Amino acid sequence: MTALELKNQRILVTGGSGFLGRQVIDQLCKAGADREKITIPRSRDCDLRVWENSQRAVDQQDIIIHLAAHVGGIGLNREKPAELFYDNLIMGTHLIHAAYQAGVEKFVCVGTICAYPKFTPVPFKEDDLWNGYPEETNAPYGIAKKALLVQLQSYRQQYDFNGIYLLPVNLYGPEDNFDPGSSHVIPALIRKVHEAQIQGEKQLPVWGDGSPTREFLYSEDAARGIVMGTQFYNESEPVNLGTGYEISILDLITLICELMEFKGEIVWQTDKPNGQPRRCLDTERAKQAFNFTAQVGFEEGLKNTIEWYRQHAA
């Protein structure tokens, strides 16, 4: 496998100041990129939904890694489906078209596991991406991100534009978003347990019935996979990034309570949505295409995340 040489490359990382973005920048530097040649557009100064801003952002860049997303858990998806659809579609479409026009050498688009159909055979294979409609609560977000795969494939076909599409499973790790209004399941549960302990609560309410399964990828592993894809992958087919390890929400909250030494009772709020019934990825393509496998074990990753949150909870 011939690596794309990162030294001296001008690299734009959208979402580069975020939870995953900071890790991606560290991994880029480990792989030889020059930190001073990495640009991070900040949403407050550079709204990528505005066409001219996207044009300015990609100007003079060699590689674009598009991580920026308007994203959240089930609550946000139910509350703001239109915003999640529009913001993610427009931002990505603008960037891809502007990058093509500017002669950017490579475009790396990070998609979402929400793009998979609601009932996908487990483990999810990339070839099953179009075999049904996504789970309803996150379909607007998932479809907006999936449209960017189509855009990259059509630009490759017509313009020979080198764009790749990576599909990381649910991420977690230190510096995650712990905001109760928009966080994903692991940070939401860690915060919930922590607050229950502080307030001396004996019961812990949790959405759903505990039956859905999920797979989680530690943010550092995800970042490493994204950088390996940037260096070694140049095909049109999407690639899953995951661990292949599936855990139920019931077992997840049980493990978090155990690691955080919470002795109370879990109360299932069965009037709240479960989300997609099962999620677990087939990770063979990433292994074959650019030798990526996750390295951080789930319990180790959870301990690191809990420890980070406890240090920063105040």
- Report pLDDT digits (tens) over 214-227: 999 999 999 999 99
- As a whole number of angstroms, the distance between CA 273 and CA 269 comes to 9
Q: Is 30 annotated as a binding residue?
A: no
Condensed to tens digits (0 to 9), the pLDDT of residues 237-290 reads 999 999 999 999 999 999 999 999 999 999 999 998 887 788 899 999 999 999
Q: Is 224 annotated as a binding residue?
A: no
Q: Is 107 annotated as a binding residue?
A: no
Query: What is the structure's pLDDT at 1?
Result: 76
CA angle 261, 267, 272 (to 5 degrees): 125
Query: What is the structure's pLDDT at 264?
Result: 93
- As a whole number of angstroms, the distance between CA 85 and CA 209 comes to 28
pLDDT at 184 over 90: no
Q: Name 119's Cβ contacts closer than 8 Å, sequence gap at least 6.
A: 132, 277
Q: Read off the pLDDT band of 172 (50, 70, 90).
A: very high
Instruction: Report the interhelical angle of 219-232 vs 19-30 (nearest 10°).
Output: 50
- Whether pTM > 0.85 for this model: the answer is yes
**What is the DSSP secondary structure assignment for residue 163, as one 8-state letter?**
E
Q: Is 111 annotated as a binding residue?
A: no
> For residue 52, with 0-12 CB atoms within 10 Å meaning exposed, 13-18 middle and 19 or more buried, which class applies?
exposed
Query: What is the structure's pLDDT at 181?
Result: 76
Q: Is 303 annotated as a binding residue?
A: no
Pair 140, 81: CB distance under 8 Å? yes
Query: What is the structure's pLDDT at 127?
Result: 97
Catalytic residues: 141
Sole residue written with tokens 């407050």: 44
- As a whole number of angstroms, the distance between CA 184 and CA 71 comes to 9
Complete domains list, the chain, with CATH: 11-170+216-245+280-295 (3.40.50.720)
Per cent of the chain over pLDDT 90 is: 87
Condensed to tens digits (0 to 9), the pLDDT of residues 101-159 reads 999 999 999 999 999 999 999 999 999 999 999 999 889 999 999 999 999 999 999 99
Q: Is 20 annotated as a binding residue?
A: yes
Mean of per-residue pLDDT scores for the chain? 95
